Amino acid sequence: MGAGTTGRAVGVVVLVLAALLGTAYVLGRSLLPDRPGSGRGVTAGVHETEYGDQSGGTDLSQDTPDRAEAGQYPDGHRAAESPADGLFGSRVTTGSPEVALTFDDGPDPQYTPQVLEILREFGVRATFCVVGENVQAHPELVQAIVADGHTLCNHSWQHDVQLGRRSPATIRADLLRTNEAIHKAVPDAPVAWYRQPGGAWTYPVVSVAEELGMTPLHWNVDPSDWQAPGAAQIATLVAREAGPGSVVLLHDAGGDRQGTVDALRRMLPDLTSRLRLEALPVDGAT
């Protein structure tokens, strides 16, 4: 009895398992309700961390009948997997040797102060992609971000992943409302960047952002910290993938972000020793 026999035996077992799994999947799908609302309830229960945040993402649940797409939330892993597609010219690198850490979905009263403290310890400046309604709820945190020398990025009013599919007027109103909330907190702080929730860029959302003087900002390093894989995994991935010009996607809100906070502490000694971490410029892309 040689390797060939063993290989065939393993092959048969794999096939049987695949068939069983396939059946279970089909059965599972058929049990899911078709109504988007209740369907999302099921999804949210299973993948709590994906939605944990979405503080007031109420519109989101009404507007995203497609659960698969909603699964990209918060910041678009499908887009990250195929960075050549659907970016509509949004920036994926800093365009310089400097590395930009970006923190999305906040500000958050539990995690943003911790992130700020660690960045301060390491003398690192970063960019915060803030959600309008969170800005409105915690203007003092936006003030703390700016006071520490970090820069701001508009991340829409309530993290509407579908925003790019809406009318240009709706998109414009959403982005302006967010900037108004930011400027109510920090009147003079420039908002030179816009990041589309879910990375779900469309031509209209890129156009409106640019029209309002904001450079569309994507990313090229994504440790999927929003899935809370643990500090070690987040830190390892960033350490491995980050290089000159990287834009690193992280989250300081939208769920349990302790892993991200702890990962920062682990990875900053290494990152700061070999790369220059800097906030994205306040005058946008140059």
Query: Nearer to Zn ion by C-beta: 15 or 151?
Result: 151
Q: Is 53 in the site for Zn ion (CB under 5 A)?
A: no
- Nearest CA to 253 out of 76, 49, 79, 60 is that of 49
**Piece of the chain touching Zn ion by CB under 5 A; list 66-74, 87-95, 255-263, 277-285:** 66-74
Provide, rounded to whole angstroms, the least separation between the CB of residue 249 and Zn ion. 9
The catalytic residue among 53, 75, 104, 108 is: 104
- By CB under 5 A, the count of residues binding Zn ion is 5
Tell me if 104 sits within 8 A of 134, measured CB to CB.
Answer: no
Return the residue nearest Zn ion (CB atom).
74
In whole angstroms, what is the distance from residue 94 CA to residue 97 CA?
A: 7
With CB under 5 A as the contact rule, the residue among 74, 216, 259, 281 that binds Zn ion is: 74
Q: Which of 40, 54, 64, 75 binds Zn ion (CB under 5 A)?
A: 75
Category of 64 on φ-ψ map: left (φ > 0), alpha (ψ -120 to 50) or beta: beta
- The neighbouring-strand residues paired with 104 are 129, 251
104 is catalytic: yes
Beta carbon of residue 52, minimum distance to Zn ion (angstroms, whole number): 12
Considering the complex, what minimum distance in angstroms separates the CB of residue 156 from Zn ion?
Answer: 8
Residue 121 Cβ vs Zn ion, minimum distance, rounded to whole Å:
25
Options 21-29, 100-108, 211-219, 238-246: segment touching Zn ion (CB under 5 A): 100-108
Q: Which residue has the tokens 């203007």?
A: 139
Q: Does 104 bind Zn ion (CB under 5 A)?
A: yes
List the x/- string, 182-201, binding to Zn ion by CB under 5 A.
---------------x----
Which C-beta is closer to Zn ion: that of 197 or that of 259? 197
DSSP class per residue in the chain: --HHHHHHHHHHHHHHHHHHHHHHHHHHHHHS-SSHHHHHHHHHHHTHHHHS--TTTHHHHHH---HHHHTTTTT-HHHHHSTTSS-TT-B-B-SSS-BEEEEES---TTTHHHHHHHHHHHT---EEEE-HHHHHH-HHHHHHHHHTT-EEEE--SS--TTGGGS-HHHHHHHHHHHHHHHHHHSTT--EEEE--GGG---HHHHHHHHHTT-EEB--SB---GGG---HHHHHHHHHHH--TTBEEEEESSSS--HHHHHHHHHHHHHHHHHS-B-PPPTT---
Q: Measured from the CB of residue 34, what is the shortest distance to Zn ion in angstroms?
A: 28
Nearer Cβ to Zn ion, position 96 or 202?
202
- Find the shortest distance in angstroms from Cβ 16 to Zn ion: 41
Position 108 contacts Zn ion (CB under 5 A): no
Contact string 124-163 vs Zn ion (x = CB under 5 A): ----------------------------------------
Nearer to Zn ion, 53 or 278 (CB): 53
Task: Tell me which residues are annotated as active site.
Answer: 104, 251
* Residues making contact with Zn ion (CB under 5 A): 74-75, 104-105, 197
